Amino acid sequence: MTRITLRVCGASHLLPGAAAWARLEPRWALVFGDFADWPSAMMTAPADALLWVLTLEDVLTPESLQGLDEGALDDALAQLMAPLEARLSASTQPTVVAWTAWRPQSAIASARRLSSWSQAARRLETLLYRLAAQRPALLLIDLDAALAGDGLATAFDTRNLYAAGCRFSRKGLGRMVEAIDGVLQRITQAPKKVLVLDCDGVLWGDVVGEVGVGRIVLGGDGLGRAHRDVQRAAQRLGRAGTLLALASKNTAADVWEVFDRHPDMVLTRDDIVAWRIDWAEKAANLVDMAKDLDLGLESFVFLDDNPFEREKMRRALPEVTTLEVPADVTAWPSLIDGLNLFARFDATPEDAAKAQQYRNRAAFANARRGAADESSFLAGLDMRAVSVPLDATTLARAEQLAAKTNQFNLRTERHSAAELEAMAGSPAIVAFLTRLTDRFGDHGAVGLTIARIADDTAFLDTFLMSCRVLGRHLDAWMLQRLAVLLRDRGVQWLFAEFRDSGRNAVAANVLTAHGFARWSGPDGDRRRRAVADLSAIDGDLYVVDLEMLVVPHLDLFHAPAPQPTRSLTAAVS
């Protein structure tokens, strides 16, 4: 594994070589400069990531702040931050500032007025976050918050200060590096996406199947309050974009009865995206849920009160993060709140949209599992598909689909944006994206179809569909739409190729399932020659007569009036 260079600097001595720093060494090549060389470190090595540990008391004395008005204080802090601003202007590499302004102060002296020291600390925080809003490379760690968990007095050590120039205690140094490690990890590692919760012993105390809904430990005071706060913490994660799931060895009706009837339940059915409540092994159930959500198991975090279940999960699915929790449930709410696993630097609208897509997908899988039969289930989806033109507004999504779609992809042509742009303007191309909505939500543009035309013959250059809408027969709708558009253009023969990429087996039978037949004509056939002119063919070639084409499953879709794409309209006229 290639280690990235991390230049470390600070105003306090940071004790390079201390055991605490070993935590970073597997992933980062730590480079400590000379003591207190932070201003020059900011100016050099812009290609490296940088960590600045800012102990405010090492750069500003309380005496220097006495009598400063707001403007003078800002000037002093601006001077302090000038090297950092220079660094951020010169480098887009991550710059982490871990700062602490803690110093012992009299509670009495600050009982009626904010001390000048506290004013400086608050102003520094404001300026740092203002800078972070402008500079995406800047990552901030409020050490006083990170160290407070163990008590700030234990995080600092005057013995170390006077003996070695280091303000931190051994423990404080360890906690600081732990916080830095968490932030640095998020630079290279995506957050976890799913929190899988056990029910008995986690969401509530006792076993609902044995004591009944009325006697589980939930709400009120004591442990019941702790279990309720566990639910609140989980719900906060859920509302911030983490997907919540249940894996419980229980009778499903008992669990849902608690959700529906217990007055102190915080989580609702709507909070839960996926669940397996049965007597099967939880590892197998997590594998199933991962398939439903189309997520890798490395995106899952498992929380169970039973050490035996945790150990089984670790052995069966080491890629799942199994939380080690203390037996004392009262510690769990703050443990969940403090987890770095799901945290992200910024919550973007794309993240929220993505989370909603996973919810939709899980809801689809759950409904499908519970349906009496496949066809009535699909018929009840209220599916509405619509084609949208390949043009400047859809180019980026088309490129994304072409680049990322592996499973339902007939030829896995990775068209670039430039290629797609050229196609969008070509009269010899029919190209459109397909949007789908159903009762589980708006799935957005999930299909891309591109056909090349030469007189009465066309070749299906691209036919792909996002895996998140597989199983709905949207491919049938896309094919029918293409057939309509091609017939309008006087095309009778549609040729297509299945090119095996090793990952697109799900698309292997789509052609024969929709009326195509393996091409068996002579190479000299004029249509075959036309196809050869349109595209190089590596795989099996198929053909269908559009005048004879009858596409199945179209009754599953509402049938909006055909909407010619803008480029097609132009081409036809």
Partner 1 sequence: MPPRPSLRALLQQQFPKATIPSAGVLAVGSFPEWDSLGHFNYLMLVEETFDVRFSVEEMAELKGLDQIAAALAGRGVEAL
**Interface positions with partner 1 (CB under 8 A):** 15-19, 159-160, 162-164, 170
572 beta partners: none
Return the number of the residue (157 or 254) whose C-beta is nearest partner 1.
157
Please, which residues have CB within 8 angstroms of residue 497's CB and are 6 or more apart in sequence?
410, 411, 459, 460, 535, 537, 538, 539, 540, 541, 542
Return the number of the residue (16 or 62) whose C-beta is nearest partner 1.
16
Tell me which DSSP letter residue 168 carries: B
CB of 174 to partner 1, least distance (A): 9
State the Cα–Cα distance between residues 507 and 407, nearest whole angstrom: 7
CB of 422 to partner 1, least distance (A): 58
For strands 28-32 and 4-10, give the pairing: parallel
End-to-end CA distance of the chain: 58
Return the number of the residue (174 or 389) whose C-beta is nearest partner 1.
174
Return the number of the residue (29 or 86) whose C-beta is nearest partner 1.
29
State the Cα–Cα distance between residues 346 and 191, nearest whole angstrom: 11
CB of 91 to partner 1, least distance (A): 28
Closest CA to 137 of 169, 179, 75, 95: 95
State the Cα–Cα distance between residues 308 and 253, nearest whole angstrom: 25
Return the number of the residue (150 or 278) whose C-beta is nearest partner 1.
150
Q: What is the token pair recorded at 260?
A: 């529906």
The count of residues in the chain is: 573
Q: Give one DSSP letter per residue of 385-434, joined into a string.
A: EEEEE-STTTHHHHHHHHHH--SEESS-----HHHHHHHHT-TTEEEEEE
Helix (H) / strand (E) element for 459: namely: strand 457-465
Return the number of the residue (176 or 402) whose C-beta is nearest partner 1.
176
Return the number of the residue (22 or 559) whose C-beta is nearest partner 1.
22
CB of 21 to partner 1, least distance (A): 9
- Tokens 């066309």, located at residue: 458
CB of 18 to partner 1, least distance (A): 5
CB of 183 to partner 1, least distance (A): 24
CB of 324 to partner 1, least distance (A): 19
CB of 501 to partner 1, least distance (A): 47
Return the number of the residue (37 or 281) whose C-beta is nearest partner 1.
37
Closest CA to 290 of 247, 339, 233, 238: 247
